[in-house]
Amino acid sequence: MAITYLKQAKARPATECSDIRDTVAVMLANIQREGEDAVRRYSEKLDRWTGPVVVTDAQRRAACNRVSQQTKDDIQFAHANIRRFAEAQKATLGECEVEVIPGLIAGQKQIPVSSAGCYVPGGRYSHIASALMTITTAKVAGVPHITAVSPPRPGSGIPDPIIYAMDLCGADLILNLGGVQGIAAMAQGLFGAQPADILVGPGNSYVAEAKRMLFGEVGIDMFAGPTDSLVIADHTADVETVAWDLVSQAEHGADSPVWLVTTSELLAKGVMARAQALIDQLPEPNLSAAHRAWHERAEVVLCGSREEAAQVADRYAPEHLQVQAEDLDWWLGRLSAYGSLFLGKETTVSFGDKTSGPNHVLPTSGAARYTGGLSVHKFTKTVTWQRCNAAASHELAQRTARISRMEGMEGHAIAAEMRLIPEKLSEAV
């Protein structure tokens, strides 16, 4: 059976990305030139925020005191799971030392970056979990200084639960800033922040573009587009569960694609018939976002076999990949391109988004073909070192000089041959 599209996404406007690029470029240039003044101006214009940028220790304590105990307990539960998983990841980072040839010792070390900037979205929704995912992971990695920013709400600033999460996870500095101006402030080290070595965290298209433009000057976790999710399901899956899993991810935004890949035509048609009714149960602005995402961005693909379904999933390389099908171990071994994998009807992307532990900052727009999500590895530099004795230096010098001259690099050859002259060695010592 050929792969059949029962539903396909609409094409996106060709000018969309170029307009965003132009806007972000102007903003970054202005902030580079004018510093904190430009940041405050953009914050007032875009977030309607005229209050202080830096959240003081007293304001932190007051915000934390306003958070209910149940909310604190839930946030602490999620934080513990995320920290535990990050600690397990860190345990996989090893240092090594090897004698490559007699007398030549080489090794590798793991060194955390000196500072990190963590962006926590807060526009349509208050993304408490993003604070947990980014700051906790940086802290476990051993980053000495962590700045966190999130869009302030007019008149009140960053929502109290987000501040509580930032404080719990160990943010050294919290700034009432969102959007491009928040990213630029962390990159430049404004408002008392240390200039960020790496910028991490999800955000809207403008935040993503700002990170992309700053990459090279600073590191970034990844260039992330709109969140996306794919569900693989067979005849054993439940229509209602699959439909809700898709709709729940569509509520992220109108540009968030969701995809169903299935070997069951009956399931596919059942999900397509139920989706709008489920969307209608959502409040605003979730309803409008999910409605557009489903009707403009969603796709439903019917496959003749599980191998065809796996091939389609690998081609999409989704950020989130759910499998609701028989023989989960087969899928775990077969699938190769995804940000995070959710196996079985008992799990859902919502768990990963909020509380279960593995990081929810993941590659989007097909980037899972070549990279994974945020982890302690992103905050850690794997660096190498070497030293050698005179005997090893002698052989290395001869072979290095010959290869250097073959390449036409005479300076390299001479520098190597300096190690062949005993008196030069003694002078160097």
Catalytic residue numbers, as ranges: 319-320
Strand arrangement, sheet containing 380-388: 96-101, 104-112, 380-388
CB within 8 Å of 173: residues ≥ 6 apart: 54, 145, 146, 147, 148, 191, 192, 193
Rounded distance between C-alpha atoms, residue 300 and residue 269, angstroms? 9
CB within 8 Å of 285: residues ≥ 6 apart: 124
Q: If you compute the radius of gyration of the chain from its CA atoms, what whole number of angstroms results?
A: 26
Rounded distance between C-alpha atoms, residue 185 and residue 194, angstroms? 10
Q: What DSSP line would sit under 169-224, residue for residue?
A: HT-SEEEE--HHHHHHHHHHT-TTPPPPSEEE----HHHHHHHHHHBTTBEES---
Rounded distance between C-alpha atoms, residue 246 and residue 257, angstroms? 9
Closest CA to 223 of 331, 371, 344, 342: 371
Q: Contact, 199 vs 187, CB < 8 A?
A: yes
Q: b/e for 16-39, b at 16 or more Cβ within 10 A?
A: eeeebeeebeebbebbeeeeeebb
Residue 332 burial (10 A CB sphere; 0-12, 13-18, 19+): exposed
Q: Contact, 118 vs 194, CB < 8 A?
A: no
Type of residue numbered 17 = C
